[in-house]
Amino acid sequence: MKILGRPLVVELTECDCKVLNNSQLLEQYLNEAVRRSGATIVQSVFHRYNPQGVSGVVVIAESHISMHTWPEYGYAAVDFFTCGSSVDPYKAHDYLKEMLGANDSSVRELARGIPSTTDEILKHKPSATG
Amino acid sequence: MKILGRPLVVELTECDCKVLNNSQLLEQYLNEAVRRSGATIVQSVFHRYNPQGVSGVVVIAESHISMHTWPEYGYAAVDFFTCGSSVDPYKAHDYLKEMLGANDSSVRELARGIPSTTDEILKHKPSATG
């Protein structure tokens, strides 16, 4: 694959159920996680569902971080979709794991980009060619 | 894994570069894709980068759909994070592939949920137990 990004796909489990239901707190935590990773916030959207659960997405200059919570299972699905070498998504992960009181986390690193028979890391080009 | 969602991780390639740079058009297409999948739009955020590229996220009642474009490579990374059986993310995929003029797409279906030695599909519970 011609790789343009390596998002982290994270399952945070055995979290604090009250935190997972608190949209304001989660927005604060996710924004702080973005800052700690070195990324730049563009805009965020948070939504609390009835009767429970929160979805939050922070669009960043380097793609996005999203979170969906299932308080009834103490579970949060978090995606750290970042590009470039200046951002460290693991710092965001470590901070969120702590703030959500997660006893465990499972992290998968995906390769994203243009399917190809050879592996290569692509850089952003300064201008469009198309 | 105790599965709570099966997001589609999609690479759309050989797309129309002009479309990939048009934030307004992409917002229109992504919202229509959400409708065609049967999902419910909560809120959307779109951002065009300088000199090129667009990031867009639509938060839906069933999680989110995100898109990041690299016009210089004719490439778009799209995630359809949906839960529940009432939404068909493949309908959103097919529509977006057509509207972006993508000659090819690669689709991976991920299992998201609570790591476990046995496989099981979990349902949303009506109220929090935590």
Tell me the ipTM for this assembly.
Answer: 0.90
| Partner residue facing A42 (CB), from B47, B110, B126 | B47
Is the pLDDT higher at A65 or at B120?
A65
Q: Residues 56-115, chain B: which have Cβ within 8 Å of A?
A: 57, 59, 61, 63-64, 66, 68, 70-75, 77, 79, 81, 83, 104, 106, 110, 112-115
In B26-85, beta strands by DSSP E: 41-48, 54-60, 63-70, 75-82
Which residue in B55, B78, B129 has the most chain A C-beta atoms within 10 A of its own C-beta, making it the best mutation to test that interface? B55
Please give the average per-residue pLDDT across B8-24, as a whole number.
Answer: 97
Q: Between chains, do B129 and A21 touch, taking CB under 8 Å as contact?
A: no
In this prediction, residue A130 carries a pLDDT of 36
Q: Between chains, do A45 and B52 touch, taking CB under 8 Å as contact?
A: no
pLDDT(B128) > 50: no
| Interface contacts (A, B; CB < 8 Å) | 146
SS3 A19: helix
CB neighbour list of residue A28: distance below 8 Å, 6 or more residues apart: none
Among positive and negative, which fits the CA dihedral A97, A98, A99, A104?
A: positive
Task: Tell me how far apart the alpha carbons of residues B72 and A128 are, in angstroms, rounded to a whole number.
Answer: 4
pLDDT(A122) > 80: yes
Task: Name the band, by pLDDT with cuts 50, 70 and 90, for residue A120.
Answer: confident
pLDDT digits (tens, 9 = 90+) for A5-14: 889 999 999 9
Among positive and negative, which fits the CA dihedral A130, B103, B66, B119?
A: negative
Bridge partners for B113 per DSSP: B3
pLDDT digits (tens, 9 = 90+) for B57-113: 999 988 999 999 999 999 999 999 988 788 999 999 999 999 999 999 999 999 999
In this prediction, residue B64 carries a pLDDT of 93
